[in-house]
Structure 1
C-alpha cells in the first residue's frame, strides 16, 4: 500500500507530498487532513518530515566484570545546542539497505569498538526516535562482550569517524545516567533496561 492508501486507511487523507531536500538527510513536505478524536476533520495541515533511516543501537555489557563498553565521539548538533561536544553513547549506526538488523549490530560493534559479541544479542525495543518530525527508527539491542579486551580508537576512515572506546563499571554508568553526563536518549533507554535486567544477565554469566 502506498503512502496515500495507508494514510486514508488510518483516518488520514494525504493531499500532497513533495521532496524538498535530497541529501544525506531527506526532507519531505506533506499536506494532510486527519480525523480528530471528536469525529471532526482538521483543516489542511502543512507538515515537514525528516526522512531518516532504520538504525541499530547496541548496549555492550560484560556481566562477568559488571562493566559497560561505551563510546565517545564529537557531535555537532550537541555542541550547537549547548551540550558537550563530546558525547558518551552506546554503539549505533544506520542499517544498510537490505541488511538485517542483527547483521548491522555485528558490523557497527566491530567498526566502532573492535569488540567480539559473545552469543546472540538480545533485542530491547524497536522505537521511533522522534515521531513528531522524523521517520528514523531504532532497533535497540544488548550484546555481551568481554570488556577486558575493549579499548582504543576506532571508526571508519572513509566516514571520517573518530571514536574512542570507554569502559566503565556499571555503577559509574548508572551514576552518569542521573547526573547528566549522558544526554543521549537511546543510551538512557538502554541503561534503564540494563537496570531491570542486570541481575538476570549476571546470573547467567
Structure 2
C-alpha cells in the first residue's frame, strides 16, 4: 500500500455557515506537488439510522431536502454533537425525527460521500426493539414518518423520491445483517 502524500500546507480558502473549503498542498511520494480542495467538516460526523419494527417494517421519513429542492424519502439521520457517542446520537435523532426510541442499537458500517472532495463520514446504525419516545427536534416542520414493509423492498427501491445513496446502501447493509441472523 502506498504511503500517504505529505501535507505541505492546509488553509481555508472559503467559509459559509455550513461549509469550509480547505486547500491542501500535497507532495506525493514521486515528488509531484499538487493543490487539492475539499469540503472540510467539523468534528463528530453523522449517523444514519435503519430502524426496524417488530412488524418487519423499516421506519422511513419524508422531509424537505434543500439540495434537491424537493421532499425526499430516506432514513432518520443527523449530526453527532461534539462529545456525543454515535449510538446516543442515533437514538436521539430517531426519537426527534420518528417519535421512536430503540432498546437495541448496533453499529453496522461507516460510509463516506465523495471522499476525494469531502472529509465527511456517516455511521450506519441498526435500531431494533423500538418503543414510543418522541423528542422535540430542530426541523422547521413536522417530518412525515413512513413505515415500509421489508417484504416490499423492490417497490421501495422504485420510489422516485428515494434517491439518497446513503439511505439505499444503509438499508442493504442492515438487511444483510438481519438475514445473517436468521
The answer for unaligned runs of 5 or more in structure 2 is: none
Q: Which residue of 1 aligns with 2:5?
A: 12
SS of corresponding position for 1:20: strand
Give the Cα–Cα distance (whole angstroms) in 1 for the partners of residues 86 and 177 of structure 2.
22
Q: Which residue of 2 aligns with 1:91?
A: 76
TM-score, normalized by length of structure 2?
0.84
Q: Which residue of 1 aligns with 2:37?
A: 48
Which aligned runs of 4 or more in structure 1 are off by greater than 6 angstroms?
Answer: none
The answer as to 2:18 corresponding to 1:24 is yes
Give the Cα–Cα distance (whole angstroms) in 2 for the partners of residues 194 and 125 of structure 1.
9
The answer as to 2:178 corresponding to 1:198 is yes
Give the Cα–Cα distance (whole angstroms) in 1 for the partners of residues 36 and 171 of structure 2.
33
Aligned 8 A contact 2:87 2:106 in 1 = no
Give the Cα–Cα distance (whole angstroms) in 1 for the partners of residues 58 and 129 of structure 2.
9
CA apart distance, 1:192: 1.1
> CA, structure 1 residues 174+187, in 2 after alignment: closer, same or farther (shift >3 Å)?
farther
> CA, structure 1 residues 172+181, in 2 after alignment: closer, same or farther (shift >3 Å)?
farther
- The structure with the largest strand share of the pair is 2
Give the Cα–Cα distance (whole angstroms) in 2 for the partners of residues 195 and 156 of structure 1.
28
> CA, structure 1 residues 87+179, in 2 after alignment: closer, same or farther (shift >3 Å)?
closer
CA apart distance, 1:111: 0.9
CA apart distance, 1:128: 1.8
Give the Cα–Cα distance (whole angstroms) in 2 for the partners of residues 92 and 30 of structure 1.
29
The answer as to 2:144 corresponding to 1:170 is no
SS of corresponding position for 1:77: coil
2:67 aligned to which of 62, 74, 77: 77
Aligned 8 A contact 1:155 1:163 in 2 = no
The answer for unaligned runs of 5 or more in structure 1 is: 1-8, 80-84
SS of corresponding position for 2:100: coil
Deviation by residue 1:122-165 (Cα, 9 ceiling, x = unmatched) = 11101222201011111111101448x69x9x8634x5254211
TM-score, normalized by length of structure 1?
0.76
Larger radius of gyration: 1
Root-mean-square deviation over aligned CA pairs: 2.6
Give the Cα–Cα distance (whole angstroms) in 2 for the partners of residues 179 and 111 of structure 1.
24
Give the Cα–Cα distance (whole angstroms) in 1 for the partners of residues 90 and 122 of structure 2.
11
Give the Cα–Cα distance (whole angstroms) in 1 for the partners of residues 140 and 52 of structure 2.
26
- The structure with the largest helix share of the pair is 1
The answer as to 2:51 corresponding to 1:67 is no
